[in-house]
Copies of this chain bind each other. A is one copy, B any other.
């Protein structure tokens, strides 16, 4: 039997970094934090708010997201959107993911 902590650590390590790619892809259409959280969960990439919100601020600081306050709604909300650099990074990460998938497919064959 695999220890539960061991299992969850290995799963977390595999998932880490995928939230960045997913957020950059989803925020090609402007969205605010809570809506993104729900979209991620719906896509099977559930993430904690305490992980996502600081990540969004970090991506903005890195110039990968831009932000804008919307006052159209009853409560002002900060909308994030993927920047040109962010879209370029998403493309790089997507290619890296595809390369890793190819590598795994080779290993699966037992070669």
A residues whose Cβ falls under 8 Å from a Cβ of B: 1-3, 6-7, 10-18, 20-22, 25-26, 28, 43-45, 62-64, 85, 88-89, 92-94, 96-97, 99-104, 106-108, 110
Contacts and interface: CB of A to CB of B under 8 A. Distances in A.
Contact of A45 (B43, B62, B100): B100
A16 B16 CA distance: 7
Given A14-B16, A14-B93, A43-B103, 15 more contacts: A2-B63, A2-B64, A3-B62, A6-B64, A6-B89, A10-B17, A10-B93, A13-B17, A14-B17, A14-B21, A15-B96, A22-B103, A26-B107, A45-B103, A101-B101
Nearest to A85: B2
A59 to B, nearest CB: 9
